[in-house]
Amino acid sequence: MSKTLFFLLSLLIAVMHCRATRRNNEEVQTETLNLKAKHFNPQVPPLRTLSSSKRFEGSSEFVKLKYHMGPVLSSPINIYLIWYGKWPQSQKLLIKDFLLSISSTAAPSPSVADWWRTVSLYTDQTGANISRSVSIAGEYADLRYSHGTHLTRLSVQEVIASAVQAKPFPVDHRNGIYLILTSEDVTMEEFCRAVCGFHYFTFPSKVGYTLPYAWVGNSGKQCPEVCAYPFAVPGYMGGGGPGHLAPPNADVGVDGMVSVIGHELAELSSNPLVNAWYAGEDPTAPTEIGDLCEGLYGTGGGGGYIGSVMKDGRGRTFNLNGRNGRKFLVQWIWSPVLKACAGPNALD
Ligand SMILES: [Zn+2]
């Protein structure tokens, strides 16, 4: 009896040891193969957002991105974060690591900082480039849903006004932008149907100042197949079917938000007062530098392919490295130099 037990125990220990060793090997592999992590170009069901008509895969002479004489964010960018609703610390850290990676030189290439380089190529009529310095200058937690669990484009400005009145941070006219992030239980006008995020500027009548802001919501429970694409796929494909990719930080909603935050920050910086860089004749529905590359994450994307991205030893999909060893999957941005969508993980 005890012999059998001993045998079983030692067998169990041996198995556990074996698994631990294998996990260690995986980690080693992940680290050493980080940059040469397996490239693959997954085919996924098409992204079905209303803005998909704006998408432009690859490059073209026909994309008429124009400069409309307004300013870009050329001074160091100070982000004031407003966490609306319930935000677990782990999710906050993930988003902050992404934001702080924009100016971090520590991460190996292709990095988030390399990705922002494309954004920084845009200039305004003074000749100044978009700043490569992005920091988090202040944070405010709106834990009690000051304006309810359903927000609109206008009430989101009241959320900013409440935050400003609470005085958690000074009003920063020179360098400040607000980034409002809503938790997965908060709905937003047009969220999931037409938008995953948006940017605009505050009205003096609402907030007391004119400052650029962006809103992005956690779509994890509401519409991951739209706003956390390609970590979730449209329902008609039976969610989890072909095209379902493992998110780099094991959080479908927040890993999806990271790409949307990148998209909105790029557009906010190049078109902060909606009078700088955009395509199309209608300034109420501008096609901006992120819109042109939505759903595109690497070389060879388009026609149902997201482009060549990387997969680490644990099968997690990514295309950028960030600080603290983080990995992210962030869409490409339209380059004013290449006149095409561009990213640092390009194969050519
Ligand atoms: Zn956009």
Residues with CB in 5 Å of ion ligand 1: 267, 288, 290-291
| d(CA 195, ligand 1 centre) in Å | 9
pTM of the model: 0.86
| d(CA 170, ligand 1 centre) in Å | 28
Mean pLDDT of the chain: 86
| d(CA 101, ligand 1 centre) in Å | 21
Per-residue three-class SS string for the chain: CHHHHHHHHHHHHHHHHHHHHHHHHHHHHHHHCCCCCEEECCECCCCCCHHHHHCCCCECCCCCEEECCCCCCCCCEEEEEEEECCCCHHHHHHHHHHHHHCCCCCCCCCEHHHHHHHHHCCECCCCCECCCCEEEEEEEEECCCCCCCEECCCHHHHHHHHHHHCCCCCCCCCCEEEEEEECCCCEECCECCCECEEEEECCHHHHCCCCEEEEEECCCCCCHHHHCCCCCCCHHHCCCCCCCCECCCCCHHHHHHHHHHHHHHHHHHHCCCCCCEEECCCCCCCECCCHHHCCCCCCCCECCECCCEEECCCCEEECEECHHHCEECCCCEEECCCCEEECCCCCC
Is 43 domain-assigned?
yes
Residue 77 pLDDT more than 60? yes
| d(CA 65, ligand 1 centre) in Å | 13
Domain with 232 in it: 35-342
Total domains, the chain: 1
pLDDT band at 12 (very low <50, low <70, confident <90, very high): very low
In this prediction, residue 56 carries a pLDDT of: 53
Read off the pLDDT of residues 300-318 as tens digits, 9 standing for 90 and up.
998 888 999 999 999 999 9
In this prediction, residue 8 carries a pLDDT of: 44
Is 52 domain-assigned?
yes
Residue 43 pLDDT more than 90? no
| d(CA 30, ligand 1 centre) in Å | 33
Read off the pLDDT of residues 107-143 as tens digits, 9 standing for 90 and up.
999 999 999 999 999 999 999 999 999 999 999 999 9
Mean pLDDT across 224-243: 71
Mean pLDDT across 162-170: 89
Is 71 domain-assigned?
yes
Task: Choose the weakest-confidence range: 51-60, 132-141, 231-240, 334-343.
Answer: 51-60
More confident residue, 152 or 238: 152
| d(CA 265, ligand 1 centre) in Å | 9
| d(CA 42, ligand 1 centre) in Å | 24
| d(CA 185, ligand 1 centre) in Å | 23
| d(CA 203, ligand 1 centre) in Å | 20
Is 1 domain-assigned?
no
Is 19 domain-assigned?
no
| d(CA 95, ligand 1 centre) in Å | 19
| d(CA 266, ligand 1 centre) in Å | 9
